[in-house]
Amino acid sequence: MTNYQFPEKFWWGSAASGPQTEGRVAGDGKGDNIFDYWFAKEPEKFFDQVGPEKTSQVYTKYQEDVQLMKQTGHNSFRTSIQWSRLIPDETGEINQQAVDFYNRYFNELLENDIEPFVNLYHFDMPMYLQKKGGWLNRETVDAYERYAKICFELFGSKVKKWFTHNEPIVPVEAGYLYRWHYPEESDMKMAVQVGYHEALSSALAIKAYHEQKQDGQIGIILNLTPSYPRDEENSADVQAAKIADAFFNRSFLDPAVKGEFPQELIAIVKELDILPEIKDEDLTIIKENTVDLLGINYYQPRRVKAKETEKIRSGAPMPEDYFDNYKMPGRKMNPYRGWEIYEKGIYDILINVRDNYGNIDCFISENGMGVENEARFIQSDGMIHDDYRIEFVQDHLKYVHQAIQEGANCLGYHMWTCMDNWSWTNAYKNRYGFISVNLEDGKRTIKKSGHWFKEVSQQNGFSV
C-alpha cells in the first residue's frame, strides 16, 4: 500500500460557474448573456434543447448545496459572478438583488468553513456588450475593468481568492475560430483581437485589485493542454508541438505569468498581418500586472505531428496551418466527451510551471470526467456508484502528489464539478458532479465519489 499524503492546508473542493449553475428566476433582474440569447434564438443547437435557465437552480438552492459541499469534504469552492446578473444592461446600474444573492451565497460558504474562490468571467458576455462586438471592441475592456473594480469593492472583504478569467482561450477558439459557441465566427484576425483584449482586461483587473490594496490573491484560470509530439526524435513533429503549445497554452500563460506574449506567436501574427490594435500603454500594463496565483484546468493532452500536407494559404488562416492533430494509437479515451485521458499530463504541466514559470503558487482548478447516462450505475442503495470517477481522480492525484514531492508549488485540487451542471451546448448530456441532480425535481444525491472525496479531504490524502 502506498500512502499519498498532501501538504497541510491543501485545498480540497470543486469548481463551477454562475452561468452553468444559478438558473434564472422571474424578477431576479438578470440581463441576458450570449448563451441566454443564443438559446432563445437557436435552441436546437443545445443537447435535448435544454437551455441555461434550466440549470441546477443554485440561485434558490444554495443553502442546501453548501451543506452538500460540506458532506463531500469541501474546504474551498469556486464559482463565478455573472456579469449579466450584476450589471444587467447598458445603463451600467448595479442590480441590488444580485449583490444580495452573492453576499448570501458567499456568507453561507464562509459560515460553513468553505472558502469561496471567485472568478469574474466564464464565457458569459453580457448581450448588450456583445451587440457592440464583445471582446472585439475595446469598450468591453473598459466595461470589464469597471465591473472587476465593482466586484472587488462589493465582495473583497469576504472573497480572498479572485480570478480574472476562466479559460480565456475558449471564447477565442469557440466563438472566433471553430464556431462552437456564439457568435460562431471563424476568423483568425478576430480571434487574435479577442484574445488580446481578454489578456489586457485580466492585467487591468489585477492592477485594480492591487491598487485597491485588497489583501487576497488574484489569478487566472487556464486550461493547459500539454502538447506532445508524435515522435520526440522527429524535429518537425517537435516543432509542430511547440507551435501548438504557443497557440493554445502560452498565448495566455506567458502574458499572465511573465507579462509578455510568446515570440513564436508574435512572429506568426506579424507574418499574417493580423496584429491586434494595441494602445501605447497596454504592453506595460500587461508586463507589470501578472498573476499572484495560477489555476490549472486539465482534462486532456494535445497530440501533434508535423503537417503532412503543404500549408494551403488560399483559405483563411487557422492554427492548424502549422501542425496536424495526431490520433495516437491505443490512447485511452473518455468516449462520452471524446477526450483522451492521460493522467501524467497533470504532472507534466506542474513540472513545466515549476521549471519555466517561477514555480508560482498554483492549484488544479478543474479536472474531471463527464459521463453520459449515469443512472445505469444506480444500485439498490439509490446511489450512483461512479467507481470510474474515483479511479480517474485518484490516478490524477497520484501524479499531482508526485509533482509536489518533486517541488511543484501546487496548493490544491478542485474537481469539475460539485453537482451535475449545465455544460454549454452539451447541456446535461455528460454528468461531472460528485452529486447528481435530477432534472425533473432538482433533487440532489451524493454519488459514491462524493463520499470517497470526503474521506480523502478528511485524511488529507489516501492510501492505495
Binding interface with ligand BGP (CB under 6 A) = 17, 20, 166-167, 223, 297, 337, 366, 370, 416, 423-424, 426, 430
Output 32 or 167, the one with its CB closest to ligand BGP: 167
Closest to ligand BGP by CB, 14 vs 17, is: 17
DSSP 146-162: HHHHHHHHHHTTT--EE
Q: Which residue has the cell 469598450?
A: 139
**DSSP character string of 412-436:** EEEEE-SB----GGGTTSEE--SEE
What kind and span of H or E run contains 255? Answer: none
Cell output for 441: 425535481
- Which residues have C-beta within 8 Å of that of residue 284, sequence separation ≥ 6? none
How far is Cα 353 from Cα 345, in angstroms, rounded to an integer?
12
CB of 307 to ligand BGP, least distance (A): 27
Residue closest to ligand BGP, measured at CB: 423
Least distance from C-beta 430 to ligand BGP, angstroms?
5
Comparison of 377 and 424: residue with beta carbon closer to ligand BGP:
424
Work out how close the CB of 178 gets to ligand BGP at its nearest, in angstroms, rounded to a whole number: 13
For ligand BGP, the closer CB: 404 or 415 = 415
Which residues 6+ apart lie within 8 Å of 184 measured at CB? 175
Q: State the catalytic residue, choosing from 308, 366, 391, 455.
A: 366
Indicate the residue among 195 and 370 with the shorter CB distance to ligand BGP: 370
CB-nearer residue toward ligand BGP: 37 or 416: 416
Q: Are 207 and 285 in contact (CB under 8 A)?
A: yes
3-class SS string, 287-350? HHCCCCEEEEECCCCEEEECCCCCCCCCCCCCHHHCCEECCCCCCCEECCCCEECCCHHHHHHH
Q: Kindly report the CA angle at 419 between 371 and 384, in degrees rounded to 5?
A: 55
Instruction: Give the closest residue to 424 by CA, choosing from 221, 122, 166, 168.
Output: 122
Cβ proximity to ligand BGP: between 167 and 282 the closer is 167
- DSSP 8-class letter at 93: -
- Return the closest-CA partner of residue 257 out of 220, 217, 283: 220
Cα dihedral value 181, 182, 184, 185, nearest 10: -120
With cell 495566455, the residue in question is 252
Q: Which three cell numbers stand for residue 445?
A: 444525491
**Alpha carbons within 13 A on the beta-carbon side of 51:** 15
Least distance from ligand BGP to the Cβ atom of residue 417, Å = 7
User: Cβ of residue 370: shortest distance to ligand BGP, in angstroms?
Assistant: 5
366 is catalytic: yes
Q: Are 29 and 98 in contact (CB under 8 A)?
A: yes
**Closest CB to ligand BGP among 268 and 362?**
362
**Catalytic positions, please?**
366
